[in-house]
């Protein structure tokens, strides 16, 4: 009987959502806004970066690397020599933006082992520009490797320029990191922001739309009408939360597709893990929406309360400023901030390929926060509607 009623309620909810133009707009415009924000991050785009070629192999394949990079139009070979020292000189004098180092035996190794090392050295003075350069260069090199039926693993080196305070001695690579497992939050602004933007997206859908949806029934008087029926509270709440949970998940999927295929943001970890975490997180986000609906009398109030609350949560989440840069007390509050946990988890899984056990603490925190929030909200809901 309960389930039967739930089914009818769900049918009604989906009918209403599908007919609500503004709501549908929000559901599909949100990912587009995300897209625009991302597009903005790419305005650092480097038109054509100057490239220093150090070809120690002199093979057709090594020349191929330089040709492909140049053919993209994004890189212009301006200088070349076999000397790493001269290349370093050029980058530190800001005559070039990157150095491509093709080691001796490149072609031979590809033919024999189907893999060969390749080094890209970037001027990381402008982090965002370097990130964009790196994304393109990697894509082109990977593409070329694919054509050769080989695996080229480029290693990335960032060089700080002379202008930087702690400038290293000339000729010394500052960092040398394998591409796999390479992660530098300051370097790729866009990659860094994407998981956060996805979190904002599902939070908006989850919290705001839940609050608005229930308050709308309150405003219309239909909530009173529903209360004089045998529908019990839990069935009603389930019927409200399930559709919005579904739409939040759909939006998350759209967001991920856009991030991955339009902006080539890496998705290194498991998507199953991402969706599993989102499921847990959304229970809390929807719970907050439910709670807001008990205190707000009008949709306007609901919107105001939601935005105020989310603003605080977002600012304290480490989305815009790294958590370790916050005052100590603020760092503590992030422990009970679901957005902070979810952002950290998304970054770890998407950008670093973290696995379940790496993010277990975040999952546990999310589960705890969500169950507390939901039970408080349900209690409050019961109390409010006598």
Angle at 217 between CA 213 and CA 222, to 5 degrees: 155
In whole angstroms, what separates CA 12 from the centre of its chain?
A: 34
Q: Is 5 in the site for other proteins (CB under 8 A)?
A: yes
Residue range at the interface with other proteins (CB under 8 A); choices 9-17, 125-133, 207-215, 248-256 = 9-17
If one asks whether residue 383 binds other proteins (CB under 8 A), the answer comes out as: no
Least Cβ distance, residue 273 to other proteins (angstroms) = 38
Identify which of residues 12 and 170 has a Cβ nearer to other proteins in the complex: 12
Instruction: Provide, rounded to whole angstroms, the least separation between the CB of residue 226 and other proteins.
Output: 8
Question: CA of 193: how far to CAs of 59, 110, 260, 273, in Å?
Answer: 40, 36, 13, 19
221 near other proteins, rule: CB under 8 A: yes
Report how many residues bind other proteins under the rule CB under 8 A.
24
Least Cβ distance, residue 211 to other proteins (angstroms): 19
- By CB under 8 A, what part of segment 119-178 binds other proteins? none
Q: Which stretch binds other proteins (CB under 8 A): 7-15, 60-68, 113-121, 168-176?
A: 7-15
| Alpha carbon distance 204, 95 (integer Å) | 46
Residues in 69-108 at the binding interface with other proteins, rule: CB under 8 A: none
With CA atoms as reference, report the closest residue to 13 among 192, 246, 196: 246
Side-chain-facing half-sphere of 384: CA atoms under 13 Å: 19
Q: Is 299 in the site for other proteins (CB under 8 A)?
A: no
CB nearer to other proteins: give 4 or 357.
4
Burial of residue 232 (CB within 10 Å: 0-12, 13-18, 19+) is: exposed
Stretch of 131-139, 165-173, 224-232, 374-382 lying at the interface with other proteins (CB under 8 A)? 224-232
For other proteins, the binding residues in 360-379 under the rule CB under 8 A are none
The residue among 240 and 347 lying less far from other proteins, judged by its C-beta, is 240
Residue whose pair of structure tokens reads 């140049």 in the numeric block: 70
Using CB under 8 A, pick the residue from 40, 48, 185, 227 that binds other proteins: 227
Describe the strand order of the beta sheet including 115-123 as a list of residue ranges.
75-80, 49-55, 98-102, 115-123, 151-159
Segment near other proteins (CB under 8 A); pick from 60-68, 162-170, 225-233, 351-359: 225-233
Number of neighbours of residue 120 by Cβ within 10 angstroms: 21
Of 11-30, binders to other proteins (CB under 8 A) are 12, 15-16, 19-20
- Nearer to other proteins by Cβ, of 9 and 51: the residue is 9
Closer by beta carbon to other proteins, 43 or else 229: 229
Verify binding: residue 298, other proteins, rule CB under 8 A. no
Smallest CA-to-CA distance from 240 within 162, 178, 309, 293 is with 293
Residue 14 CB-half CA count within 13 A = 11
Enumerate residues 6+ apart whose C-beta is below 8 A from 103: 56, 57, 116, 117, 118, 119
Q: Which of 230, 327, 329, 383 lies at the binding interface for other proteins (CB under 8 A)?
A: 230
Sign of CA dihedral 250, 253, 259, 261: negative
| Sites of contact with other proteins (CB under 8 A) | 1, 4-5, 8-9, 12, 15-16, 19-20, 220-222, 224-232, 385-386
């Amino acid at each position: 009987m309960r389930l039967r009623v739930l089914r009818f309620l769900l049918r009604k909810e989906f009918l209403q959502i599908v007919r609500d133009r503004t709501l549908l707009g929000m559901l599909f415009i949100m990912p587009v806004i995300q897209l625009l924000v991302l597009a903005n991050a790419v305005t650092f785009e480097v038109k054509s970066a100057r490239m220093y070629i150090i070809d120690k192999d002199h093979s057709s394949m090594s020349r191929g690397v330089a040709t492909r990079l140049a053919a993209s139009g994004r890189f212009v070979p301006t200088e070349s020599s076999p000397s790493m020292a001269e290349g370093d000189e050029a980058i530190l004098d800001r005559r070039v933006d990157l150095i491509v180092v093709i080691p001796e035996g490149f072609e031979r190794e590809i033919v024999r082992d189907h893999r060969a090392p390749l080094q890209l050295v970037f001027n990381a003075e402008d982090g965002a520009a370097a990130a964009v350069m790196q994304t393109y260069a990697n894509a082109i090199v990977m593409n070329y490797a694919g054509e050769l039926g080989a695996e080229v693993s480029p290693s990335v080196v960032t060089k700080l320029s002379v202008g930087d305070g702690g400038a290293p001695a000339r000729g010394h690579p500052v960092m040398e990191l394998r591409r796999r497992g390479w992660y530098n939050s300051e370097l790729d602004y866009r990659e860094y922001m994407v998981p956060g933007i996805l979190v904002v997206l599902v939070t908006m859908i989850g919290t705001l739309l839940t609050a608005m949806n229930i308050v709308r029934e309150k405003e219309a008087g239909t909530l009173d009408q529903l209360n004089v029926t045998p529908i019990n509270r839990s069935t009603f709440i389930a019927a409200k939360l399930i559709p919005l949970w579904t739409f939040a998940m759909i939006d998350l999927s759209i967001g991920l597709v856009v991030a991955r295929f339009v902006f080539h943001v890496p998705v290194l970890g498991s998507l199953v893990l991402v969706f599993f975490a989102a499921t847990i997180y959304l229970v809390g986000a929807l719970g907050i929406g439910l709670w807001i609906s008990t205190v707000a009398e009008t949709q306007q109030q609901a919107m105001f309360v939601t935005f105020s609350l989310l603003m605080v949560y977002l600012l304290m989440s480490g989305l815009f400023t790294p958590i370790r840069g916050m005052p100590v007390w603020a760092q503590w509050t992030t422990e009970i901030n679901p957005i902070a946990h979810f952002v950290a988890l998304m970054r770890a899984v998407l950008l670093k390929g973290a696995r379940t056990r790496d993010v277990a603490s975040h999952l546990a925190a999310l589960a705890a926060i969500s169950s507390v929030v939901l039970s408080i909200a349900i209690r409050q809901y019961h109390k409010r509607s006598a």
